[in-house]
Amino acid sequence: MPSKSSARLAALTVAAVCSTASGVVVTTPARADTVRIHDIQGTTRISPLAGQKVTDVAGIVTGVRTYGSSRGFWIQDPNPDDNPATSEGIFVFTGSTPKVAVGDSVTVTGTVSEFVPGGTSSGNQSVTEITKPTVTVLSSGNAVPAPVVIDAKSVPAQYTPAGDTTANGSINGRTLEPSKYALDYYESLEGMNVRIADARVVTATDPYSELWVTVKPHEHANRRGGTVYGSYTSQNTGRLQVQSLGPTSSFPAANVGDTLTGTTTGPLDYNQFGGYTLVAGQLGTLKSGGLQRETTRKQARGELAVATYNVQNLDPSDGTFAAHASAIVHNLQSPDIVSLEEIQDNNGATDDGTVDASQTVNKLIDAIVAAGGPKYGWRSINPVNDQDGGEPGGNIRQVFLFNPQRVSFTDRPGGDSTTAVGVTKVHGKAQLTVSPGRIDPAGDAWKSSRKPLVGEFVFRGRTVFLIANHLNSKGGDQSLHAQYQPPTRSSETQRHLQATEVHAFVKNILDTQKNAEVIALGDMNDFEFSDTAKILQGDGELWSAIKSLPKSERYTYDYQGNEQVLDQILVGPSIRRGCDLDYDSVHINSEFHDQISDHDPQVLRFRP
């Protein structure tokens, strides 16, 4: 029986070559005539026939995509080879509504292409396709090749090999090892008909009719049905995105902990918004896991309750004010101080120079009162127009809400969008030069990013310094499924500069008053185990209080099947040493399809 390599060579014409002193160099690409799908796919992520024309590639249609910009269909060879590294399926890009149906036996003539979803600058892997196709339907109503079952036994525990250092860390040129690495396993099935069964939902249905499941129900699972992301080196390999080839109107509205019962079957695709994706022609039935939104406990009389909550680009036109107010009053139990992130100006994304946010904030405060909560006071500083990043025209900023019946705000005039707050010593105590104030608003670390808001509060005669943060987002980072492994996290460069400045400011307070009570909180846009968190914590000047929770409960955000920490409350030594420190990540948004924000709020209770 001929070997796999000899069979492939027999299907190709001989390339034109020339001899050099160093050996044989291919000067023109081998020309492919009639080849099989596995010859096109090859044993690496890049087709050995990329850029070449192929003729009469045979297969059975397994799925047809009639929507979006990537219209086309998948075909699969019903007679596979014996190499597990070579896929038997491929996508045929038509650009318009395909004129084939599932079960058609076809031949396709066209050009082999490597399409990178999101563009080459994204760092994503490519999808091997046949483009500019001429399609011939030979017969219809044929049996579709049996799907490959993806389950806990088939997916390897290791996520990916390290990239080739001579190719900038790319894994494209590596021979696939589907029995060793999860990303190689999924790549070896690219374009093929696959099946999952009774899969638990680990990221709720999003507005684009997508959800994530896990085929490894015990992999870093928590009590609410999610899959926790707790380390760069221990990836969750059982995660898989699910879309539907059917109408989005019938796609299930799933929450974390629900189950797609029965079988979900369809071609395995790859896209920029999640990597390997099962595009279901047959979708399982959704079974509810009964997940409920959490409610934290009420703070005791002598406890100060401090919360952070990213309200996701809130502006007066939003219809979520009552829901946010109910969350603050009922789920968070009306904290004494709330640091809000992503409060937009009075006309939201309209980019007309408006920076004031009083309408946005007061609308929320009024909704809180209507929900039975306190009449919060508030402090903030308007940013310079279009200088703080976020949605263009939105001018997002942090805002302090505080319950004046429980806590007072110490006002010191002079704080504005361009004035840097400082620390002085007065009667042996640390004191802000302005309150509220912003940390180094003209500094390079904060270019096109939110500047930290600093305020001085008094609770039961004790001063507490709060620093509200919204650090540089992870936008621009390469994905976990990128062709570059490990992926580059370019956003860390600015975020580390920001963390360094916040830490230096905290250290300034503590150097001025050793026992000062300091809290840095907000959307840190990074994990509790990240270098960003390490920089913020320094040599013990701060400590991320979410670490007081069991690892399975450390998450504030759910992204692509990974429940992870982005929002943190970090406390100084005086607060950490207190015996009554109590922390809660209140899960009201991230796990639910009908979320009003993509972040869960955090609450810290302690006795100053």
Q: How many residues would you count in the chain?
A: 608
Comparing C-alpha atoms, which of 194, 244, 242, 196 is closest to residue 76? 194
Q: Determine the Cα–Cα distance for residues 289 and 214; give it in Å rounded to an integer.
A: 15
Averaged pLDDT, groups of 10, the chain, 608 residues long: 33 30 32 81 98 97 93 97 98 97 98 96 97 98 98 98 96 98 98 98 97 98 97 96 90 98 98 96 97 98 97 98 98 98 98 98 98 98 97 98 98 98 98 98 98 98 98 96 97 98 98 98 98 98 98 98 98 90 98 98 97
* SS3 (DSSP) at 153: coil
Phi, psi of 350 (to 5 degrees): -65, 120
**List of domains in the chain:** 4-139 (2.40.50.140), 148-287 (2.40.50), 304-606 (3.60.10.10)
On the CB side of 570, how many CA atoms lie within 13 Å of its CA?
A: 30
Beta bridge partners of 464: 457, 517
pLDDT at 67: 87
Comparing C-alpha atoms, which of 117, 262, 86 is closest to residue 191? 86
Q: Determine the Cα–Cα distance for residues 568 and 555; give it in Å rounded to an integer.
A: 10
- Which residue's entry shows tokens 């504030």? 556
Find the DSSP H helices in 513-598. Answer: 531-537, 573-576
Comparing C-alpha atoms, which of 4, 146, 174 is closest to residue 89? 146
Comparing C-alpha atoms, which of 127, 75, 72, 136 is closest to residue 109? 136
Task: Verify cis geometry, omega within 30 degrees of 0, for the bond prior to 80.
Answer: no
b/e per residue 161-190 (b: at least 16 CB within 10 A): bebeeeeebbbeebebbbeebbbbbbbbbb
Q: Determine the Cα–Cα distance for residues 170 and 281; give it in Å rounded to an integer.
A: 32
pLDDT at 102: 98
- Tokens (6 digits) for 140: 């219809």
Q: Determine the Cα–Cα distance for residues 175 and 169; give it in Å rounded to an integer.
A: 14
Q: Determine the Cα–Cα distance for residues 186 and 171; give it in Å rounded to an integer.
A: 14
Comparing C-alpha atoms, which of 497, 337, 520, 505 is closest to residue 433? 505
pLDDT at 293: 98
Q: Which amino acid is at 46?
A: I
How many CB atoms are closer than 10 A to CB 10? 9
> Computed from CA positions of residues 318, 323, 324, 329, in that sequence, does the dihedral angle turn out positive or negative?
positive
pLDDT at 6: 33
pLDDT at 34: 74
Phi, psi of 437 (to 5 degrees): -145, 175
Mode of pairing for the β-strands spanning 89-93 and 517-523: unpaired
Q: Determine the Cα–Cα distance for residues 226 and 590; give it in Å rounded to an integer.
A: 10
pLDDT at 4: 33
Q: Which residues contact 196 (CB under 8 A, 6 or more apart)?
A: 149, 150, 151, 213, 215, 240, 242, 260, 263, 264, 278, 284
pLDDT at 246: 82
pLDDT at 9: 32
Cβ atoms of 351 and 368 closer than 8 Å: no
Comparing C-alpha atoms, which of 564, 568, 600 is closest to residue 212? 564
b/e per residue 475-487 (b: at least 16 CB within 10 A): eeebbbbbbbbeb
**Strand runs labelled E in 158-258:** 193-203, 211-214, 239-244
Cβ atoms of 586 and 437 closer than 8 Å: no
Comparing C-alpha atoms, which of 559, 597, 396 is closest to residue 477? 559
Q: Quick check: pTM over 0.75?
A: yes
- Tokens (6 digits) for 206: 């999003």
Phi-psi region of 100 (alpha: psi -120 to 50; beta: other; left: phi over 0): beta
Beta bridge partners of 109: 134
Cβ atoms of 563 and 556 closer than 8 Å: no
